Amino acid sequence: MDDSPDDGVLRRPELRLSATLLFAGVLVSLLSGLQHPDAASANDHPATFAEYAASDIWIAVHLGQFLGMALILCGLLVLAYALNVRHGRAAWTVRLGAAAAVAALALYGVLQGVDGVALKHAVDAWAGAAEGEKALRFAAAEDIRWLEWGVRSYQSFMLGAALILVGISVAATHRISRVIGYLMVLSGAAYLAQGWIIGAEGFSVSNTLPTLAGIVLVLGWTGGLFASAWRREEHGKTRARSSAG
């Protein structure tokens, strides 16, 4: 087999780029999420809306979350390209995964527009409304909250599909560790579960386990991919220096 990049060989520079984007995106998402107000139960709307209205960094936090997700999904797209799968079922799987990643990013932009901007202004208007207007303002904020549930549900479905499809391609091609592919598939399944629960129950306690599982699994495979991609680079440089010596 010809070892040219056009014949299906792993694109190593793009692998390192994807690993860096993915790991950076996870870190940005986690740091942004730590700033998110969450003292009240998310399905207790009077308590959560009061907490959100009191936040001065709400819009900035959600912009950070969008940046983190954008880095993750761009990293996933670069990973799909780096695999360089040109033929067979794995090629179609990785292409469908890339398409799902694009859809997930678009939906996440809508989600942060709804949650990060519209909901904030709605709860601010409710908190500052005269007593006779509060019920109407609260109902408007709840409408936006329910819209958030819907968008987040389908964004989670598309993100889960993207992770599963690209993960299957990673495991099938053996071009990087199959364990990374398996962990990607499991993290995708966790996001599918989140999508179902959010659509059915909102931000209920039932979503705690899938959310934690998704975080741990994504940290695991992105960290593993980052270490593997850059270790390959250092190993290649060391071998080149040895050959030159």
Contacts of 146 (CB under 8 A, 6+ apart): 202
Block residue for tokens 């780096």: 82
Confidence band of 243 (pLDDT split at 50, 70, 90): very low
* Residue-level pLDDT at 86: 87
Query: pTM for the full model?
Result: 0.89
pLDDT (tens digit per residue) in 197-212: 999 999 999 999 999 9
Distance of alpha carbon 182 from alpha carbon 170, whole angstroms: 8
- The ranges assigned to domains in the chain are 5-244
Confidence band of 4 (pLDDT split at 50, 70, 90): very low
pLDDT (tens digit per residue) in 7-45: 478 899 999 999 999 999 999 999 999 999 888 888 999
Contact 211, 194 (CB under 8 A): yes
The least confident of 25-34, 72-81, 224-233 is 224-233
Alpha helices in 35-133 (DSSP H): 45-54, 58-83, 88-113, 119-127
Instruction: Please give the average per-residue pLDDT across 130-152, as a whole number.
Output: 97
Closest CA to 68 of 14, 16, 109: 109
Confidence band of 232 (pLDDT split at 50, 70, 90): low
pLDDT (tens digit per residue) in 163-172: 999 999 999 9
Distance of alpha carbon 221 from alpha carbon 22, whole angstroms: 10
Instruction: Please give the average per-residue pLDDT across 159-165, as a whole number.
Output: 98
